[in-house]
Amino acid sequence: MLVLHYTAIDGPASLARLCDPAAEVSAHYLIEEDGTIFALVAESERAWHAGLSSWQGGHDVNSRSVGIELVNSGSAPFSEPQIDALLALGRDILSRHPIPPENVVGHSDVAPTRKRDPGPLFPWARLAAAGIGRWPFPDPADLPEPAVLAAYGYDVTDLPAAIHAFRMHFRPIGIA
């Protein structure tokens, strides 16, 4: 799996927090707004980026994913240099790991009751056009049935949260 996040804090604070053992949070990579990429945890090692999460019925997403944090507040568009760097890094990761498109997800997809990142401003369609992730959702309906959401990977225990996460990822227009 490839799990994408935003930091909600600036670059220096993000780097400090992700490298602080007391914070108990980490990621494999951090991408600054200018496109600078920091490799923080080896891909073969577990990073603590997804927390309590689930995808396709499996828990412990941290043990089966690569996490990328993007410096962004969540309320602003992602910068072009940052997305360009993410595209290059994403292609590189996918060249080494057989990650299917439906397993390129946001933190909100795997933890819909707790997280909103990378948010409705994240350019999922652009990533998919570059071969990273899936766009659009396989079901052309505005909102798939709960069984379809669950079959795709979402934990539908809290259906409103799963629907909100789905909409942020696949139908971001009007989502705040």
How big is the CA angle at 124 (ends 43 and 76), to the nearest 5 degrees? 95
Active-site residue identified among 43, 69, 80, 102? 69
State the amino acid at position 130 in one-letter form: A
Tokens representing 12 are 């220096």
32 is catalytic: no
Strand runs labelled E in the chain: 2-6, 29-31, 37-39, 54-55, 58-59, 66-70, 104-106
CA-CA distances (angstroms) from residue 46 to 27, 85, 159? 9, 22, 29
The catalytic residue positions are 69
